[in-house]
Copies of this chain bind each other. A is one copy, B any other.
Amino acid sequence: MTPPEVEEGRDDYRDFYRGRRVMITGGAGFIGSNLARQLAILGADTLIVDSLIPEYGGNLFNLHGIEDRVRLNIADVRMQSSMEALVRDRDVIFNLAGQVSHIDSMQDPYTDLEINCRAQLSILEACRKYNRQVRVVFAGTRQVYGRPDYLPVDEKHLVRPADINGVNKAAGEYYHLLYNNVFDIRACSLRLTNVYGPRQLIKHNRQGFIGWFIRLALEGAEIQVFGDGTQLRDFVYVDDAADAFLRAGANGACDGEVLNVGGDETVSHRDLVRVLVEIAGSGSVRFVEWPADKKRIDIGSFYSDSSRFRGITGWRPRVTLEEGLRQTLAFYREHYKQYVTEEARDEVLR
């Protein structure tokens, strides 16, 4: 029994999920699994869809402890027929499945296109055919902005992606808005900045620098920072990111919107690594020349203005960078072997 749709205010968004039929694509991944844990606490009826592709972020250990409160369905969002079957009775879809490596997208643009572009269309088509009542919250990315014209970047900034992944994520996002506007499939996109925290993939370095830096610090290894490390970023702890999804999924005022979700603090790579090494009590830093291929898709400093999202939903990040790094390091210390395979470790430590 699903409760009736509530008029959501700013404080009762958590109640909204009691018994709510929710689906999370990419639900065994980094943000998805942390969101699933929140939904388990809130008593939602949670269906996790994940492909568990080895090189991607899905990891069964991410669901450790909530196995009996969620339902896992292994499926690939590229399989249209599976999506058509899965979306049918869901009230809210948190659409987080994606190919997230910028680097991989430049090596193999077609796979990125299939997952981030075509599969998004097929999820929305499935909703149009079989579940027009649903609300979809899409995991967008600050990456669609490319190299910023001004800082902080708000939603009025032009979309001008600097890599293939950014182009395909932009298209995936546009589809969501279009289905909201034309087909009444309520949908919005959260353009996330750098999210970090427990349950992030750290077994290779192709999914963003922060998880990788955390791993290197943990292992007492040298962290290489490109250039002088003065480029700025904002960071969001994964619990805060999960909270943003919960708020958007319960709030009709987000429908049809593109909303930045970014951090409070602006931190240089240089300072990030300094703090990280300090908290970890291990690891070191070395500044190196930019590799040519990475330099070409680098976007310089970036931080975002999330005031629209805050204004609509009351969201604000609660976990400071220091506290977040502390919790993250503690998590990986405890569960290191679940995230780093022996072979991959040998590779790095060699």
A interface residue numbers (CB < 8 A to B): 106, 109-110, 113, 117-118, 121-122, 125, 156, 158-164, 166-168, 170-171, 174-175, 177-178, 181-182, 296-297
Contact = CB atoms under 8 A, between A and B. Distances in A.
A296 B182 contact: yes
Nearest to A164: B178
Contact of A118 (B110, B163, B174, B297): B110
Nearest to A149: B156
Contacts of A118: 110, 113, 118
A290 B205 CA distance: 53
B159 A177 contact: no
A193 to B, nearest CB: 20
Contacts of A170: 170-171, 174
Contacts of A109: 121, 125
B158 A181 contact: no
> What 5 pairs between A and B have smallest CB-CB spacing?
A171-B171, A167-B174, A182-B296, A109-B121, A167-B171
23 contacts: A106-B182, A109-B121, A109-B125, A110-B118, A113-B121, A117-B117, A117-B171, A118-B118, A158-B158, A159-B159, A159-B174, A160-B174, A160-B177, A161-B174, A161-B178, A164-B175, A166-B174, A167-B175, A167-B178, A168-B171, A170-B170, A181-B296, A182-B297
Contact of A163 (B162, B167, B168, B182): B182
Contacts of A158: 156, 158-159
Given A106-B182, A113-B117, A159-B174, 11 more contacts: A109-B121, A110-B118, A117-B171, A161-B174, A162-B178, A164-B175, A164-B178, A166-B174, A167-B178, A170-B170, A182-B297
A233 to B, nearest CB: 21
A142 to B, nearest CB: 16
